[in-house]
Amino acid sequence: MKSRIAANFAITFERRSFWTAAIGFFLLGSALAAGRADTALTIKPTHVFTGHTDEVTAVAFAPGGARFASGSKDNTVRLWEISTGEELETYQGHTRPVTSLAYSRKDNLLLSGSMDGTIRVWDLDSDDLPRIFIGAGDPVMDIAMSADGTHVLAASHGFQDWSIDEGVIKQSYSANGADLLSICYTPDYKQALTGGGDGAARLWNLNPEKESLRFSGHPDGVRRARISPDGKIAATCCWGDNFVRLWDLTTGKETLRLMGDADAVACLAFSPDGKTLLTAGGKIASDLKSLDPNAENVAVIDVWSVATGKITARLAGHSGYVDAVAFSTDGKRVISGGSDKAVRLWTLPQPPSKGAPRRTADAAE
């Protein structure tokens, strides 16, 4: 069981595909349309944070947005101050790559999931050693925090609901025996969306466990499955193709299919208002390598309008594929990490005032 999850992880982070033309596609119903994002801004990072010795696989903004955490294949979790660029702490203890991070507003905690099969609970106000949650030994591929900060879901072989205060599993979910790569709560915290190694995403009722909807179509393991803040849309991606699929959470039907600049998609994130979607992953097409002509495997993060299915901006700066992206709570900033071992901070352009002309020039450094 453990080996199958590990294999899915290896596929997720090592697979490369043939590049595709840098065109924004979207599929609505049965019609395929394409519109090149010629007017999309190209935005460069405002800060680059270095220190990890292997690829960055997880990022998370701290509540308030003044700091963020990053996790890596170097088995460490690092805490950063945004205003100074200073690395505040390096948390060691995981024996295999860190896959996921989540902050809890309760008690100022940071949780990290790892391929070593543990979740570690770091008290940011203390120098004490972390508490360690040990499940069945299967790799923890993703974690999701409850709104009140008292529970965390862990995606592994099936998924588990941990009580953070007690450090025990309150309930285990078989998920039909699936090896899971991704998990998140619905906004009401009554259901969970999982991405499986079998290429399907599933929506689960949590009490009692019941598969509510299944979303099939990806040819490979679903690397990320996330839900819009209003609870109406699910977005999924995998390394097996370069499509991001959007699904109606009421009907279970695919409503939109996005194909952006990456040859494969490893990560995605909705903005807090649900109007914007970030997608990123592998290298981009050769006609966009002018963004960084010296890069061997340049990658960008596509910024999509959920309403139109169009790319509105590109975040350019990573010299390798991108594994992790996250929005700040105000939706104005983005952090990302990837195979170049760095974390980058981006400031997104704000919508122009009504009647103002749309900018088409690259953002200033």
Residue 350: the pLDDT is: 78
Separation CA 226–CA 327 (nearest Å): 13
CA angle 230-233-239, nearest 5°? 135
Q: What CATH number has the domain bearing residue 216?
A: 2.130.10.10
Q: How confident is the model at residue 297 (pLDDT cuts 50, 70, 90)?
A: low
pTM of the model: 0.86
| Residue 361, domain member (yes or no) | no
**Has residue 309 got a pLDDT over 80?**
yes
Q: For residue range 262-296, list pLDDT tens digits in order.
A: 888 999 999 999 999 999 998 765 445 555 555 45
- Number of domains observed in the structure of the chain: 1
Report yes or no on 362 lying in a domain: no
Q: Which of 26-35, 200-209, 211-220, 332-341 has the lowest mean pLDDT?
A: 26-35
88-123 pLDDT, tens digit per residue, is: 999 999 999 999 999 998 889 999 999 999 999 999
DSSP annotation string for 206-256: ETTEEEEEEEE--SS-EEEEEE-TTSSEEEEEETTSSEEEEEETTT--EEE
Look at residue 223 and tell me if it is in a domain.
yes
Q: Inform me whether the pLDDT recorded for 68 exceeds 60.
A: yes
Is 106 part of any domain? yes
- Per-residue pLDDT reduced to its tens digit, 161-172: 999 999 999 999
Helix, strand, coil share of the chain (percent; to 5): 5, 50, 45
Mean of all residue pLDDT scores within the chain = 86
Domain housing 341: 2-347
Indicate whether 8 pLDDT > 80: no
As to burial, measured by CB atoms within 10 angstroms (0-12 exposed, 13-18 middle, 19+ buried), residue 80 is: buried
Does pLDDT of 357 surpass 50?
A: no
Say what the pLDDT of residue 288 is: 53
pLDDT of residue 231: 98
Strands 310-318 and 299-305: antiparallel
The whole-number pLDDT of residue 349 equals 86
For 223-235, the pLDDT digits (tens) are 999 999 999 999 9
